[in-house]
Amino acid sequence: MSLVDPASDTLEALARPAAAPPDGTGPTVPRIVPRRRTGQWAAAAAVLVLLAPAVLSVVRNDAFQWDVVADYFLTTAVLRGLGLTLWLTVLVMVLGFALGTLLATMRLSANPVLRGVSWGYVWLFRSMPILVQLLFWFNIGALYPTILGIRTVNLLGPVTIAIIGLTLHEAAYAAEVVRGGILSVDKGQLEAAQSLGLGAWRRLRRIVLPQAMRSIVPPAGNMLIGTLKGTSIVSVIAVQDLLYSVQLVYHRTYQVIPLLLVATIWYVVVTSVLGVGQFYVERHYARGTAGAR
């Protein structure tokens, strides 16, 4: 008794030429016709029809003053502000993830005090808007006139305040990203490392974090791009980042729109470069997995 697969029989029948018709004109081969996707092409055409006028209106609208944008795009003041923005972004990300990793390990600790302190930190700094945090640090002298006998009035400059405020804010989110990445590692890996006699710090550094990076990198890349754009908020405390630099120019020239376009284009360029870098970093840590590209 033989078992026959109907699906395979159907495929074989389609692959075989059809029998010759009675009139002797020869065998006929079934023709495979691709599926028509009329709806998708119609939707794409509609989107292009709606998008084209919008793009043309931006390009041809003289109010955007593209010549002014070109004149100020590479000026010293703008490039200096861009450099401070990039430096601030990198420093805040490094310090934020260093503190966030410490908070994540505390949150996963068996000690209830460490877990409670870590949870409270994340809860507090994720609940406060970043602008409020910066203003609190900017007015630290009004809250605490002296700390350990040191007068705090004018003790911290605007850049230092920006670093402290952004780092503390970033660490709260980084702690949850790192904690999620650590929890994604199979417990069997930890048990195997522990059976080999590896200490807690060595297990974290050599076993856990390399595997957790697959889960950490995507949200960390999004945080990096968000931090780059979020640094623009430090302009409220007179830190001469990219946005504040163009504000100084248009307060003098009253060319608000083209100077804002200068800042916008630079943000788009840098975030695009970071997006490409994130793609390759993700692909590096996804090696050997089903989702690797």
Q: Write the pLDDT tens digit of every residue in 13-49.
A: 444 554 455 555 555 666 777 777 788 888 888 888 8
Q: Are 73 and 262 in contact (CB under 8 A)?
A: yes
Expressed in percent and rounded to 5, the helix, strand and coil fractions of the chain are: 75, 0, 25
For the chain, the residue count is 293
Give pLDDT tens digits for 245-290: 999 999 998 999 999 999 999 999 999 999 998 888 888 877 766 5
In this structure, the strands spanning 150-151 and 146-147 are antiparallel
- Kindly tell me if the per-residue pLDDT of 7 is higher than 60: no
Q: Which residue has the higher pLDDT, 101 or 194?
A: 101
Among 60-64, 74-78, 246-250, the least confident range: 60-64
> Residue 239 is encoded by which pair of tokens?
């830190």
255-290 burial string, b = 16+ CB within 10 Å, else e? beebbebbbeebbeebeeebeeebeeebeebbeeee
Per-residue pLDDT at 121 exceeds 70: yes
* pLDDT digits 0-9 by tens, 214-252: 888 888 989 999 999 988 999 888 888 999 999 999 999
Please provide the average confidence, as pLDDT, over all residues in the chain.
Answer: 83
Tokens of 164: 């402290």
What's residue 4's pLDDT? Answer: 47
Average pLDDT over residues 37-64: 84
How far is it, in rounded angstroms, from Cα 13 to Cα 173? 59
Which amino acid type is present at position 272? S
pLDDT tens, residue by residue, 147-164: 777 776 667 788 888 999
What are the tokens at 214?
């697959």
pLDDT at 29: 64
Distance CA 139, CA 161 (A): 10
Q: Would you state the pLDDT for residue 86?
A: 95
pLDDT > 90? residue 123: yes
Distinct helix (H) and strand (E) counts, the chain? 13, 2
Place of tokens 């943000």: 267
